[in-house]
Structure 1
Amino acid sequence: MVKRLIAAVFVGGFASLSAAQGAETSDEPFEMILPASETSLEDWLWLKRPVVVFADNAADPRYVEQMALLSERLDALDERDVVIITDTDPAARSSVRQTLRPRGFMLAIIAKDGTIVARKPAPWSEREISRSIDKLPLRQQEQRPK
């Protein structure tokens, strides 16, 4: 019971974390962490790299761990034009869930052109996600001096 309460408080903190992040940086027109019910993958085509985190509910320990790993280094992900999309409600059948069709927990990294870069059944650190993104041709092109 105590573990569930801690998990619920911990997960609930992510919503306020993303809201606070949006308030701190007025030059950003969006919150970095969004629920899948409020967006679709097409919204980010050629604008951002979606990192999608699925779970069957918000108390899934892998989901809690993944969100903690992501929230530790939001600045590094922001440098890579990442938007984090979360979906913890299979019954809602969001467009993101219907497109990627996860089974339980899944982390998906999607390129700006909409191609799926990686699907992972376990949490990944920001460093692993960043390395995966940094290998993409478009990201390498973005890093070249102008």
Structure 2
Amino acid sequence: MKHLLPIVLVGLFSGSVVSAESGDTATSSIFITTDVQDLNEFVWENRPIVVFADSPNDPNFRQQIEFLEERADELAERDVVVLTDTDPSKDSALRQKLRPRGFMMVLVSKDGSVLLRKPFPWSVRELMRSIDRLPSRQREIRERRSSDG
């Protein structure tokens, strides 16, 4: 996890989507490295978490990223990808669609619908609880159990 922080900080200060490259494939797989213009590319594949802030120095933004980094492997099990946008002047497609005001964390389901909007950092425990209650996640759990045994 120590190798991840410098890479994430570089991504945060660039104002683009966070890049996390490490030997841990679960951790690196949840942070997207390309500029995402449309959440439709994740439909039925991933559950995007989009974290907005007006600056990468926003304390709420930093805290949310720390929360996500700490339990990245558990989020990867739930097919979560993390997207960030810390440059409101670019008026990205994500900003136009989700309309954040300052800091905002958005959880999007696999079908593309917005599940949660939070104006403050939210713990990964609570995020995972919300995900695990979804019918699609319940189906994934049953399918994994049946394929394991």
What range is the shorter-chain TM-score in? 0.7 to 0.9
Match of 1:68 among 66, 69, 89: 66
Structure 1 segments, 4+ long, off by >2 Å, are 13-17, 34-40
Secondary structure of the equivalent of 2:21?
A: helix
Code of the residue aligned with 2:99 in structure 1: it is R
Does the 8 Å contact 2:46/2:79 carry over to 1?
Answer: yes
Secondary structure of the equivalent of 1:18?
A: coil
State the identity %: 45
Please state if 1:12 is matched with 2:14: no
Instruction: Spell out the pairing of 1:54-65 with structure 2 (5 A cutoff).
Output: 54-65=52-63
1:14: how far off? 6.2
Does the 8 Å contact 1:52/1:108 carry over to 2?
Answer: yes
1:141: how far off? 0.9
In structure 1, distance between residues paired with 2:97 and 2:34: 11
CA RMSD of aligned residues (A): 2.4
In structure 1, distance between residues paired with 2:34 and 2:130: 22
Does the 8 Å contact 1:35/1:86 carry over to 2?
Answer: no
TM-score normalized by structure 1? 0.81
Kindly tell me the number of residue pairs found equivalent between the two proteins. 133
Code of the residue aligned with 1:110 in structure 2: it is V
**Structure 2 equivalent of residue 141 of structure 1:** 139
1:110: how far off? 0.5
Code of the residue aligned with 2:79 in structure 1: it is D
TM-score normalized by structure 2? 0.79
Does the 8 Å contact 2:105/2:120 carry over to 1?
Answer: yes
- Give CA-to-partner distance per residue, 1:17-41, whole Å, 9 cap, x none: 7112xx543xx7x742136734531
Show structure 2 runs of 5+ residues with no match: 1-5, 13-17
Q: Could you say if the C-alpha distance between residues 57 and 11 of structure 1 is closer, same or farther in structure 2, counting changes exceeding 3 Å?
A: farther
Show structure 1 runs of 5+ residues with no match: 1-8
